[in-house]
């Protein structure tokens, strides 16, 4: 059974700092990995999706990487801003199932 | 712009009531999902559907049922609401082709009193 872990559970940084969020998974037979952002009381917004054949994806100040062999993905946020404050979740889609397994998320606070 | 909508943002129901949560997507996606999200427990899959009239149980289907009569609409039904079903309910959809990206609705905060 796939297990997805995100450490740390919470992170607080000063504005302008570059930071890395981590996501690890136990079963490397994945189809894709998706990073989401969730603001309090809201739904999930898709940030980046990496196919299993890809190593990384970039969107603006965000860069996500994938290392299937080690069961890890990272989300890099450059020049963080207070508006980046949110919970970030990763989700792994397994090859043989239509379902995804979600991590519990990392709650990021960017202080002005 | 892709869109998943949910019928209510906030809902308050009484114990024992039958509750319907509606989800509609406009992306012609085959797959649709219902999750619930609780502090400390994360996102848990209740049911998903990969085609009209097709459904599969997720990790926590007890106390819930679903209906998918049309491709764009997926309903979650609480047959007899209980206080332990107070939660945030999230609907999502994805295609069956590449890239299988999931899109989520805004969520329904259900309170059962």
- Tens of pLDDT, residues A54-87: 999 999 999 999 999 999 999 999 999 999 999 9
Omega within 30 of 0 (cis) for the link into A8: yes
pLDDT of residue A94: 84
Query: Which pLDDT value is given to residue A18?
Result: 97
Joined together, the tokens standing for residue A45 give 């917004």
pLDDT at B68: 96
**DSSP 3-state assignment of A82?**
helix
Report CB contact under 8 Å: A43, B43. Answer: no
* Pairs across A and B, CB distance < 8 A: 48
In the numeric block, which tokens belong to residue B98? 């590449």
Interface contact B101-A49, CB threshold 8 A: yes
Q: Are B38 and B88 in contact (CB under 8 A)?
A: yes
Instruction: Give dist(CA A32, CA A52) in Å, integer.
Output: 5
Sheet strands side by side (includes A72-77): A4-5, A19-25, A72-77, A62-67, A56-59
Tens digits of residue pLDDT in B20-46: 999 999 999 999 999 999 988 889 999
Report CA A84 to chain centroid distance, whole Å: 13
Q: Which residues pair with B70 in a beta bridge?
A: B73
pLDDT score of A95 = 67
Q: Cα separation of B68 and B49, whole Å?
A: 8
- Backbone torsions φ then ψ of B17, nearest 5 degrees: -70, 150
Residues of chain A positioned with their CB less than 8 A from the CB of B101: 32, 34, 46, 49
| 3-class secondary structure, A99 | coil
Instruction: Identify the residue among B59, B91, B99 best suited for mutation to test binding to A, counting A beta carbons within 10 A and taking the highest.
Output: B99
**Hey, which residues does B23 pair with through a beta bridge?**
B6, B74
């Amino acid at each position: 059974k796939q297990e997805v872990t995100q450490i740390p559970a919470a992170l607080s940084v000063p504005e302008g700092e570059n930071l890395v969020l981590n996501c690890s998974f136990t079963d490397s037979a994945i189809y894709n990995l998706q990073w989401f952002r969730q603001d309090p009381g809201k739904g999930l917004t898709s940030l980046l999706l990496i196919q299993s054949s890809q190593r990384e994806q970039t969107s603006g100040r965000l860069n996500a990487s994938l290392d299937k062999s080690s069961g890890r993905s990272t989300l890099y946020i450059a020049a963080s801003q207070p508006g980046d404050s949110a919970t970030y979740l990763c989700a792994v889609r397994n090859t043989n199932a239509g379902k995804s397994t979600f991590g519990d998320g990392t709650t990021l606070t960017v202080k002005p | 712009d892709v869109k998943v909508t949910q019928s209510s943002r906030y809902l308050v129901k009484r114990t024992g009531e039958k509750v319907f949560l509606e989800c509609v997507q406009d992306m012609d996606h085959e797959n649709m999902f219902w999750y619930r999200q609780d502090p400390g427990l994360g996102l848990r899959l209740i049911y998903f559907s990969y085609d009209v009239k097709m459904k599969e149980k997720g990790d926590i289907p007890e106390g819930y049922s679903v209906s998918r009569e049309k491709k764009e609409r997926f309903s979650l039904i609480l047959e007899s609401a209980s206080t332990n079903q107070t939660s945030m309910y999230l609907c999502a959809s994805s295609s069956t082709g590449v890239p299988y990206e999931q899109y989520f609705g805004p969520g329904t905060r259900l309170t059962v009193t």
